């Protein structure tokens, strides 16, 4: 006896129950079990006042159908102390449980599944910790329980050596909460469903065949794990399906060979599918067969509300050498994926696009770094936006990529095929078409920004740089095919071409889509003037042609262009050089605009056009209504001068009230 606590050594294994009863009756104590086998052939309860002290080699052998209720303390080494097919229950006063206590051998050959599971089940009764001492454990499926922490000491390795099964040890659980798994290594996979408030961290996994699957989970944290050289090539490596408030942070998923030596498929690094409020941050994902990171919708879910994927974040990740895009936001049904932020990521040498936005809305792509000098088969752009709307692309650094820097693309398989409401600002785009590919075989995707399938975009404050020498094929800063766009304030020090098309409005303004002002269009392509006729140009449009160094105006009377010459020299208020009838001439130094109307050298061959408030709306008489509105201006053929309506009266540009009959 020490400190008033009785110590009793059990000498007769058959008297186990009797000694426990006597200790309880005397107020408790320590029961010492010398080496040997102690049968438990009937239900037995160890009171909370009793400590079982197991000497090396001592085992309680619980018969099948019998239960040992443990409420006391246990003192034992890392050796088996429980055997038999019976059950253990109760609330033992133990903080740490060891698989070896329950029969796990840890020699890498014997099946340790039962011992590990018994340790977890027993620890679950008190919310205890299962500790794996350094050893090689062979285990198949292990069922995680609520409130249990599973931790390994350095050198604790798990894998399944059963010839008929996967080589992975699978941690599985459904409807559980508040568990932790940490500091283990080996071939480990997960199948966790309908669970919450858990942490999985500091696992070192190599050559696992399965994946890490989490479905209908919430408030889980997957932190600082390594998944190296996976043999999983047909499924997602880390899969969050219909999850909420998940944090995936600091993990390393890395394979030896580029694209994991497989064709692009479901071998995504991290996939958040039909999930919300998930944060995928500061992970390193390299050489996966599919995308590095994907946000998408689970097409197997029939309920539209459950299928949505929204309010997710990918930030600070490094994605390298993956077989499809670096980071993708994808909607199987248009706009079911939305409110995705992709910020501060580094995307290098991913097979297709660095970042792709596919059929989504309300997405921010900002401050990412994208390069792919070793790749030659991108689809459209370093940042590719496909049939999406309400997108902000800002502050990204794009260097040495195979095709376009930023591209917008039509999506014919979606109801809204065009991209719309896109803001592209403050991006640095350098050395696109880095491999100098032939535009004829590369879909002409050789533009810094390619507005191929977009409407209502703002392109402003972007920097276009080309430092690659020895090019065979030219590149363009911006290409615009169709739609309404506001393009302003971009920096193009190399004066790379800006390619626009006749069906495009290069500036769009107004309170609503149907309201439009005449557009200023800039072109540097030969043939844009087309011998004075450009089909599809709206009346009232002014067009600048760099080859002819002239502005052209399409009037309302006829479908023809009126050339406008910029006069830099005249100081007299009259043109310094003569032009053919039909030309307009703007004097930079006097700020006056003249129209060459009459033929020959007759007096009045030049008519001055006075601009009021920097805006003039010249209409032919038949287009001016009997009830004009303030600001209406037209050229009166009787008075031979333009007049405007001030809201009450018609006036000439000297301010005189005039009588006109439009």
pLDDT digit string (tens) for 100-134? Answer: 999 999 999 999 999 999 999 999 999 999 999 99
Higher pLDDT, 459 or 164: 459
Q: What is the pLDDT of residue 510?
A: 29
Rounded to an integer, what distance in angstroms lies between the CA atom of residue 629 and that of residue 621? 15
Q: What is the pLDDT of residues 414-425, one digit of tens each?
A: 999 999 999 999
Two tokens, residue 334? 């248009």
Q: What is the pLDDT of residues 367-393, one digit of tens each?
A: 999 999 988 777 678 999 999 999 999
Q: What is the pLDDT of residues 496-551, one digit of tens each?
A: 877 765 444 454 332 222 222 333 444 433 334 444 445 555 555 555 555 555 66
Are the C-beta atoms of residues 439 and 402 closer than 8 Å to each other? no
Q: What is the pLDDT of residue 381?
A: 85
The full length of the chain comes to: 662
Q: What is the pLDDT of residues 58-90, one digit of tens each?
A: 999 999 999 999 999 999 999 999 999 999 999
Residue with tokens 């018609």: 650
Q: Is the pLDDT of residue 598 over 90?
A: no
The per-residue DSSP string of 271-333 comes to: EEES-BS-EEES-EEES-SS-SEEEE--TT---HHHH-EEEEEEES-EEES-SS-SEEEE-SS
Rounded to an integer, what distance in angstroms lies between the CA atom of residue 152 and that of residue 79? 16
Identify the H or E element spanning 7: strand 7-9
Residue 485: pLDDT band (50, 70, 90) is confident
Q: What is the pLDDT of residues 270-318, one digit of tens each?
A: 999 999 999 999 999 999 999 999 999 998 898 888 899 999 999 999 9
The stretch 10-28 carries a mean pLDDT of 93
Two tokens, residue 259? 């694209």
Q: Which of 199-203, 321-325, 637-641 has the highest mean pLDDT?
A: 199-203
Are the C-beta atoms of residues 486 and 459 closer than 8 Å to each other? yes
> If we measure between CA atoms, which residue out of 243, 303, 302 comes closest to residue 276?
243
Rounded to an integer, what distance in angstroms lies between the CA atom of residue 162 and that of residue 178? 30
Two tokens, residue 226? 């390594």
Identify the H or E element spanning 449: strand 447-451
Four-CA torsion 408, 410, 413, 414, nearest 10 degrees: 70
Q: Is the pLDDT of residue 621 over 60?
A: no
Are the C-beta atoms of residues 397 and 368 closer than 8 Å to each other? yes
Rounded to an integer, what distance in angstroms lies between the CA atom of residue 432 and that of residue 448? 6
Q: What is the pLDDT of residue 649?
A: 87
Q: What is the pLDDT of residue 528?
A: 43
Are the C-beta atoms of residues 619 and 626 closer than 8 Å to each other? no
Mean pLDDT of the chain: 85
Two tokens, residue 335? 């706009």
Residue with tokens 């994927």: 309
Q: What is the pLDDT of residue 173?
A: 98
The stretch 473-494 carries a mean pLDDT of 85
> If we measure between CA atoms, which residue out of 116, 85, 90 comes closest to residue 103?
116
Radius of gyration of the chain (CA): 38
Tally Cβ neighbours within 10 Å of residue 481: 17
The pTM assigned to this predicted structure is 0.78
Question: Are β-strands 641-645 and 650-652 bridged in parallel, bridged antiparallel, or unpaired?
Answer: antiparallel
Q: What is the pLDDT of residues 223-261, one digit of tens each?
A: 999 999 999 988 999 999 999 999 999 999 999 888 888
Two tokens, residue 640? 């031979």
């Amino acid at each position: 006896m020490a400190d008033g606590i009785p110590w009793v050594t059990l000498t007769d294994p058959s008297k186990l129950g009797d000694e426990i009863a006597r200790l309880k009756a005397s107020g408790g104590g320590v029961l010492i079990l010398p080496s040997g086998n102690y049968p438990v052939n009937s239900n037995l309860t160890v009171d909370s006042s009793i400590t079982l002290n197991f000497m090396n080699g001592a085992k309680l052998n619980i018969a099948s159908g019998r239960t040992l209720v443990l409420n006391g303390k246990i003192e034992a080494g890392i050796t088996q102390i429980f055997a038999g097919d019976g059950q253990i229950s109760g609330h033992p006063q133990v903080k740490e449980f060891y698989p070896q206590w329950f029969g796990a051998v840890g020699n890498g050959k014997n099946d340790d599944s039962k011992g590990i599971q018994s340790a977890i089940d027993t620890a679950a009764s008190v919310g205890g910790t299962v500790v794996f001492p350094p050893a090689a454990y062979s285990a198949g499926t292990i069922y995680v329980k609520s409130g249990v922490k599973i931790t390994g000491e350095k050198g604790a390795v798990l894998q399944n050596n059963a010839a008929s099964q996967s080589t992975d040890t699978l941690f599985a659980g459904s409807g559980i909460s508040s568990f932790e798994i940490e500091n283990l290594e080996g071939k480990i996979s997960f199948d966790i469903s309908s669970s919450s408030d858990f942490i999985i961290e500091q696992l070192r996994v190599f050559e696992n065949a399965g994946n890490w699957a989490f479905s209908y989970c919430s408030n889980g944290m997957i932190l600082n794990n390594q998944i190296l050289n996976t043999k999983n090539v047909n499924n997602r490596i880390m899969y969050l399906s219909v999850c909420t408030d998940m944090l995936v942070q600091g993990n390393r998923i890395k394979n030896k060979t580029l694209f994991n030596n497989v064709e692009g498929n479901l071998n995504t690094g991290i996939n958040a599918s039909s999930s919300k409020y998930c944060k995928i941050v500061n992970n390193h994902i390299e050489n996966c067969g599919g995308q590095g990171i994907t946000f998408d919708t689970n097409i197997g879910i029939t309920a539209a509300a459950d299928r949505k994927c929204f309010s997710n974040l990918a930030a600070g990740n490094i994605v390298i050498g993956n077989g499809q895009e670096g980071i993708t936001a994808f909607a199987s049904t248009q706009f079911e994926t939305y409110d995705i932020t992709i910020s501060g990521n580094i995307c290098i040498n991913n097979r297709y696009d660095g970042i792709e936005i596919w059929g989504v809305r309300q997405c921010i792509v900002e401050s990412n770094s994208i390069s792919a000098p070793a790749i030659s088969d991108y689809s459209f752009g370093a940042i590719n936006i496909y049939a999406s709307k309400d997108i902000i692309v800002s502050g990204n650094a794009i260097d040495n990529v195979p095709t376009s820097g930023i591209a917008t693309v039509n999506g014919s398989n979606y109801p809204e095929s065009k991209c719309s409401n896109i803001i592209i600002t403050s991006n640095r785009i350098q050395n696109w078409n880095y491999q100098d590919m032939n535009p004829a075989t590369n879909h002409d995707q050789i533009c810094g920004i390619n507005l191929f399938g977009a409407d209502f975009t703002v392109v402003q404050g972007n920097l276009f740089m080309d430092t690659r020498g020895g090019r065979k094929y030219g590149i363009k800063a911006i290409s615009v095919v169709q739609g309404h766009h506001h393009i302003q304030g971009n920096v193009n020090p190399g004066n790379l071409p800006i390619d626009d098309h006749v069906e495009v409005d290069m500036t769009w303004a107004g309170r609503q889509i149907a309201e439009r002002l005449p557009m200023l269009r800039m072109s540097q392509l030969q043939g844009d003037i087309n011998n004075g006729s450009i089909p599809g140009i709206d009346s009232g449009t002014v067009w600048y042609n760099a080859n002819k160094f002239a502005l052209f105006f399409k009037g309302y009377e006829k479908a023809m262009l009126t050339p406008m010459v910029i006069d830099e020299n005249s100081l007299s208020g009259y043109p310094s050089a003569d032009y053919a009838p039909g030309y307009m001439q703007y004097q930079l130094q006097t700020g006056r605009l003249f129209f060459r109307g009459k033929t020959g050298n007759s007096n009045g061959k030049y008519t001055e056009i006075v601009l009021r408030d920097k805006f003039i709306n010249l209409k032919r008489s038949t287009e001016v209504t009997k009830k004009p509105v303030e600001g209406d201006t037209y050229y009166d053929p009787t008075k031979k001068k333009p007049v405007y309506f001030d809201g009450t009266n018609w006036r000439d540009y000297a301010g005189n009230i005039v009588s006109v009959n439009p």
